[in-house]
Structure 1
């Protein structure tokens, strides 16, 4: 992504913008457009920036934004898939990958770290490669 240099404000006052997003460390399309307008307002009139550079920045930002949106939709699809799979595990016997823990799955917890099976004996086993499921 192209780095946008800081612009100076020639009037001596600073302007602040509010960001409605929940994560202030990320920029959305509106933030990008505000930065671009600030660049246009504060550019050197004797040496203006080439308009093709701005178009290139917009295209790059749009591409990154589309990638982020795609990842978000894929994450939601993965969560839906995990929920669907979790519902089929309840009532089955689960054995950990090392074979040390076994029990009947009473519920499945899905969070950002993955899926975890809660067994009837109170033990929790992360659902990872090597875990086996079967009937009693």
Structure 2
């Protein structure tokens, strides 16, 4: 089979590592080449499917960890910055608040900037700037 330019630029991976696609190909090949008079026993098949599910979940976790590391690198740069956000006061009216970011917190997959003990969800931020700069 000739490798075209389209296929040549696919993801490079460690030659010793098997991914979930490789595992699925092996499983399909095994099913195609099994002896019809002695099919896989249920226990073996269920164990292989459980392994496949584990491989897939580990792959998903690795992807999520990579995203979190990238995200953490971005949001950690907010520490020491002045931020402005929209908050709701006790009467339910929207007010604009600002302060210097003390730290970043992760809870339930969401990121929060901490300003004097108050956690602000990053989706509520309106402005990020260096302290002392006003425009």
- TM-score, length-scaled by structure 1: 0.49
Q: Which structure: greater strand fraction?
A: 2
